[in-house]
Structure 1
């Protein structure tokens, strides 16, 4: 029987500080989906349910990427009809892993979403893989273990770097800098690629609970995170 993966998208669509449209980032859903959709059952959810906003800048940026382009034109139903996280929470036990797509949107909603935090805790306590790419690892920043420690304490972790945020000129409007928050929560175990925008995928463990923790730094890491998640599930 194929494993069942919960994929979570942001519901946040506009940064007020600069009136900048945002949301989830196209290749960070397209590439893991390409790896996983023939190997697992994928269920898509978001905080508000319904249509989850796709960051228009990611469509433009990746228009020449065949995987993203094909996904954009053929799979729209996936993000137009998402389930509401609160409706999924009671069914968390049905799933074998959870994966968070990046984009700037999660920094504003999923990082502090109480339902998302409970979901991650449920997966981590069941030793099921928890995974995220780019800004997606922001969802782990406010999650604690049963003993009250940060979920990522003592775990090697990656996510969108300060240098990358500076280069896209959005550092000034972020609620926090992801690299700094991951560095603090992990106890100094944040790692990144040698150069900005280089691929970096980290397969680690939730130190206190023992389950797999999979993080990717940026869009270039999206395929690698999908492959690492497939490997963790044995498919």
Structure 2
């Protein structure tokens, strides 16, 4: 019998745009689509966040324009919603308990997943053991401070993508964020690429797979899963 893959999702706990009252948080489909890819492949799933407990969801991700089949399915799935409302505290996560790490985005990540020392350490432990790491959209901020060797930045010279400056501009977020992800990645020496706005663009750098935007989440999930189980059978519902 094939041993189930243990997947750890990491999400934001931050629910406002900076110091404003505008709501943000997790972009739901960046969790929902990968969640069901892993679940339908028989994986065990856990969700962790910096503060633990209920994960804030960006209301824009459930608008008529943005809602997806997977996010609707997620809202109607009792087990999935229990995960979302009772996320583990990131402090309590141990890398050895998981086979695959998947870091979700949403603008909230720009405040609490960037330069997060616990997440930095977790990614470094996964990298040391060459375990798959997936990061989508703003979740790519988790890679900014990751090091290897003698405090060398891991992303320097690596093929990376993430939410582009053009996409931030079209979302009206350019002036509201602490920094622009594309600009930061390039300034730290990453080999950043992007595709057409709001369409799938995925790149790999060894065991790390990054996706540009929510449309890339499905492919990132499939690629990370294939690193562990090259012949899996996903039944989409």
**TM-score, reference length from structure 2:** 0.90
| 1:203 CA drift (Å) | 1.8
Which residue number in structure 1 is paired with residue 100 of structure 2? Answer: 97
Of residues 217, 221, 224 in structure 2, which corresponds to 1:222? 217
Number of aligned residues: 225
CA distance in 2: counterparts of 1:8 and 1:64, whole angstroms: 21
CA contact (8 A) 1:4 1:94 kept: yes
Query: What does 1:62-211 correspond to in 2, within 5 Å?
Result: 64-74=67-77, 75-88=80-93, 91-185=94-188, 187-193=189-195, 195-205=196-206
Q: C-alpha distance in 2, partners of 1:124/1:97?
A: 11
* Conservation of the 8 A alpha-carbon contact between 2:48 and 2:90: yes
TM-score (norm 1): 0.91
Distance in structure 2 (CA, Å) of the matches to 1:221 and 1:202: 10
State whether residues 6 and 97 of structure 1, in contact with CA within 8 Å, keep that contact through their aligned partners in structure 2: yes
Output the CA distance in 1 between the equivalents of 2:61 and 2:169: 17
Measured in 2, the distance between the counterparts of 1:161 and 1:108 equals: 17
Aligned-pair CA distance for 1:128: 0.9
Tell me by how many angstroms 1:17 deviates: 4.2
Distance 1:152 1:16, change over 3 A: closer
In 1, distance between residues paired with 2:187 and 2:44?
Answer: 35
**What are the ranges of 5 or more consecutive residues in structure 1 without an aligned counterpart?**
206-211
Query: Which residue of structure 2 lines up, in the alignment, with residue 21 of structure 1?
Result: 23
The range that moved more, 160-169 or 224-233, is 224-233
- The Cα RMSD (Å) is 1.4
Cα distance in 2 for partners of 1:170, 1:61 equals: 20
